[in-house]
Structure 1
Amino acid sequence: MMMRNVLTVLTIFFFTSQAVGQNPNLSTQDKKALKYYQEASALLRRVQYPEAIDPLRKALDRDQNFIEAWQALGLSYFKTGKLDQAIECYEKPIEIDKESVRVPRSYFTLADLYFQKEEYQKAVDFANLYIENRQNETANIKTLQTIIQNSEYILEAIKEPLPYNIKPLPGQANYFKQQYFPVLTVDQQSLIYTGRNRDENIYISRLGENGDWGMPSPISNNINTDLNEGACTISADGRILIFTSCQGRRGFGSCDLYITYKEGNDWAVPENLGIDVNSSSWDVQPTLSADGRTLYFVSDRPGGLGKKDIWKSSKGEDDKWSSPVNIGAPVNTSLDEISPFIHVNGESLYFASKGHAGMGGFDIFMSEVNDGIWSEPTNLGYPLNDRYDQVSLYISSGGEKGYYTIERVVNGEWRSVLHSFDVPPQFRVKRRSVFTIGHVIDKGTRKFLGADIKIFDQSNSELISKVKSDAVTGEYTIVLTEGNEYGLYVEKRGYLFADYSFNVNKIENFNSDNLEIELQSIKEGVSMVLNNIYFEFDSFELKKESYSELQTVYEFLKANRNVSIEIQGYTDDKGTKQYNEALSENRAKSVYQYLLDKKVPPRMLSYKGLGAQNFISPNDTDENRAKNRRIEFVIKKLDN
């Protein structure tokens, strides 16, 4: 489950076939040199690279122009991590006979070796030399073109390092030798990640008042076991968690995704996401939308563009997950894409890839979705990306702060350290998000309530997200993305729904103070203002922004068949009494007719226009007058 930081190593089997003596047309006639070479060949076939060095040296003592022996010795040094010696060996055939048909094999490996040594111009030069000499070798040329692409990208990127200001997380977050795949709750007060002690488990660390992260503790005994748990994601409210488990749990494939829900302070026993999401393949590294209803994850199942691709599943109105779909190009490529992170705005995807131009190995990229189409991925640049693998990051709701893991070998051991960084402006999300936290409360008893909370885009009445308040604490978290007007509806059986509207033009102008929501139990005589009903000016024609509210009223009546309501229309104090009464009645009738058209039984509905009376605000400003121009409904009858 942990992604090791290993350098890109090109396959050099076509060297091995020469080195192990399968080609009789060798470049030496010295019989003793051939004997030593054949001895080394047997060792190379058994991948005994250190042992092959001595006989190859002896072969070269006999014949310094033995090209295949130099290349085999280079292979032995290459496989034992001695890159400088390997380079010397692979360069020897070029000195011996630049025109030899055997020399391009040196060009091929030297391109990779110099890339690993971060001598990128030499890597490009040798790659081009090979391509010039072996233009018909498509597979090898494709590999070298990747080296050229990455080298040229790096040469430009390192000229102007970006101001990432990368720092290890302060405090105790980096308690283990290895910790990775960080995610945070939307308020950035709780850090959840995979920590490796004897096995992998999920831990939580909380931010202290001094800005340091506290000692990590296991997230829950219901989640962590003696098996491996890791690579998790959490909804914005911190109440839905999906994680990866690869050993021991009963599942469908080598690694499966599991889900658990938090109620109060306790996490439920995890459940396998099921065959609708998991497969017989490798299903890992989940990332959830803010409301926990859209899931991206990595799988190597059939039907993808590469071996490892990013897939997507959504939860429907029936709360069942859809069959996953591959998100396709340009995000996924013929190579590997892993560790996706979907920002809380639901539009900005960050992921690691080997298939796009980068620094080599896995680099982190970002892509934005618009009307279902993903933009061409952008590399996040140097020094966030470097010659090591970069995977698994989290970006804050405002898009300015990020968190990720840096892995290195320290004193012969792999160490994984969590870091934070500043996101340069060009890599921040196009649309930022803001969150607000509050509670849902019974207006009469003051008890906390578990309720459904729906958020609609008012411009098209599209459902944006759906969350629940905690049944024990009543707490909820909603996330709103700038550039939209939203309608928010809070529903619970046995209660009138509550409605609100938010204009999030710029998050700097949004009041994110806690919103305490009171629900009124259904009783005869109680009423509520329909805050999201809008009409054209001086008209009773319903505006499209009203449809989310109208749909919510319809669903309320559908769920409460024992209720009869009166729809009441009101105006402000401008205009004549006769005009205001007529306008208010026609507006109330428009709502009444909409509900009739939705097949609400007529016995449940009536309407009345009351004109300029029962003001809820003084008629002294345009804003207050707008509040008085309203539609209400009153519970007129409640059948047992």
Structure 2
Amino acid sequence: MRLYFILGLLILFQPLLAQRPVKNAFDKVNSPYDELNPVISPDGRTLFVTIANHPSNVGGKKDQGDIWISTMGENNQWNAPVHGGTLINDASFNAVAGVSSDGTQLFLLGHYSTNGPVRTQGIAVSNRAGDSWSRPENISIPYFQNKASALTGHVTSNRAAFVFSAETYGTRGVEDIYVSLRTSDGKWSEAKNLGGVINTPFQELSPSMSADGKTLYFSSNGRKGQGSFDIYSSVRLDDTWTNWSVPVNMGAAYNTEGREMYYRSNEMLGFMVYTSTKNSDGYGDIRISILDEPYQQDKKDSVIYVEMPPVARDTVSRVVEVPRAPADGKNVRVHGKITNAKTGEAIAATLLFAAPTNNQNAQASTDNGFSITIPSTDDYTVRIEAKGYVSTMEKLDIHTYELNDLEMNFRLQPIEVGTTVNLKDVLFEQGKTVLLPTSYPELDLVVSFLKANPNVKIELAGHTDNRGIPAQNVKLSQARVEKVKEYLVGRGVEYKRITGKGYGGAKPIASNEDEETRKLNRRVEFVIKKS
């Protein structure tokens, strides 16, 4: 059965550095003060970090943060940072929003004035001047306003988009995440709210984008996380910037009972950075997550990395797609790891790659990793099963000759009471209880899962959106639950192991404001009631 994933599809355009940082790379940077907003230059050699309440800040110990600069030193560690100077720092909160891909422009959060800090007008840009940076030039964003005490956000390295967190027009509570896009004439568009899938009535902070501009990372205290602020990821589904997959918690590998923020995915450099208050030597410290394999691309090979976040109640299933092209006789190596979504430990699993159009199957097993070579001329259904874990299914479209190497990492949920599984491919004819044929593979995987785990009992839950008469929605959702139960029982699952209830539109997992998010609420789930 298929759990819902957000896929980060990261296409690499630059070679990596010959050497990458080590796990203690920030030992000389972290201090008793509050380290915030770490930004790495594209070449991986310079770190820009905001340090709050440092006595050497422009505003002294009361200063919310100045930009400090560190360079890569010996043993792949960053040197102790030095103050960035008074051109790019003032008595307000100062932070770097991004660095251009050629390293010549530094985008800064906020405006600058000789008469004091300006809080309301967006971003500024500083140009490289030898070994230093020029006086910032303010960039205006129409109708920009921020009522919050500080501005957080990210200008992408191609200078095409600025995602930011602000309390402003149309917020759903306090800070929401917005985007401003650079137009063809070089100006920046009016900010657009990313919508109810991303934003909650609470705080969404420190957003950033992946290198390909498809995956959003941000911190929030408005979801059921592990601490005060957790890091989440979401995939942009189209160019409207308001259609997103439901955010997924990045899991225990990053999030703790502390405050995790400022995640930056430096995938082309082979590592990610973020901040955490857990076990810090002050209030917040910089953390690093180093990839097992560096991302590389040469003139012959294309490498695509696909990260499967942990399965959760509020996740969305996506098909992995890459550009189509003729590919007779071409192969692709698919490799990766299967890990426990809670602990991050590698687990033994079996993967079945099935090409329905030509009945061609391939199987791989893994303890610490898997690697399998399959024709790149087909589309596949990937079925992942592991003892003690909820099975899952994913669709894989690799119908292209350009793809030679694909990394897929799956994080599976342990079988335990309370785990909720959203059956995205279980669909019905509109307004009816007639199952569509596309539902059967996923339902058959549920059957297989239940037969392999005879002690597991589940409760089916049917949901609709909020349109129509509530009583009729409940009736329809209940009838669809009974239809799914009938299918499972008809294929050998004991009747007493399955209960079910229709909830109508009472338990949405996404906004009902528009069709793209409303359709996420029309779903069938099951909840493990006994493991």
* TM-score interval (norm. to shorter): 0.3 to 0.5
TM-score by length of 2: 0.45
More strand as a share of residues = 2
- Between the two structures, name the one with larger relative contact order (CA 8 Å, sep ≥ 6): 2
TM-score by length of 1: 0.38
Higher-Rg member (1/2): 1
More helix as a share of residues = 1
